[in-house]
Amino acid sequence: MQTAVKGYGYILVATPGTWADIYVDGELAGQTTQADPIRLRPGSHRLKLGNPYFETVERIIEVKSDAMQKERVEMKKKDAK
């Protein structure tokens, strides 16, 4: 795990029951089953979670300075085609 840096915020993303690639502001930041907390500048960020078997989830998150926040996202399976 990375060392906490003062002035930044951190998010830890969980997707119970599956995995997802984590994108923050369009950049790949890790995968839910393997990711350490992600260090971000305080403010608004676009969080996107993707898995080819589940619906993509996108949301805006607000990151606070010197804080750790958890984002728990329930992924919805795609309909069979």
Number of structural domains in the chain:
1
Answering whether pTM is above 0.85, one says yes
**pLDDT, tens digit, 9 for 90 and up, residues 23-51:** 999 999 999 988 789 999 999 999 999 99
The answer to whether position 19 is within a domain reads yes
The answer to whether position 49 is within a domain reads yes
The answer to whether position 59 is within a domain reads yes
The answer to whether position 22 is within a domain reads yes
The answer to whether position 63 is within a domain reads yes
Q: What pLDDT, on a 0 to 100 scale, did the predictor assign at position 2?
A: 59
Q: Which domain holds residue 49?
A: 9-72
Q: What pLDDT, on a 0 to 100 scale, did the predictor assign at position 5?
A: 74
Q: What pLDDT, on a 0 to 100 scale, did the predictor assign at position 30?
A: 94
The answer to whether position 2 is within a domain reads no
Q: What is the C-alpha R_g of the chain? A: 13
Residue 76 pLDDT more than 90?
yes
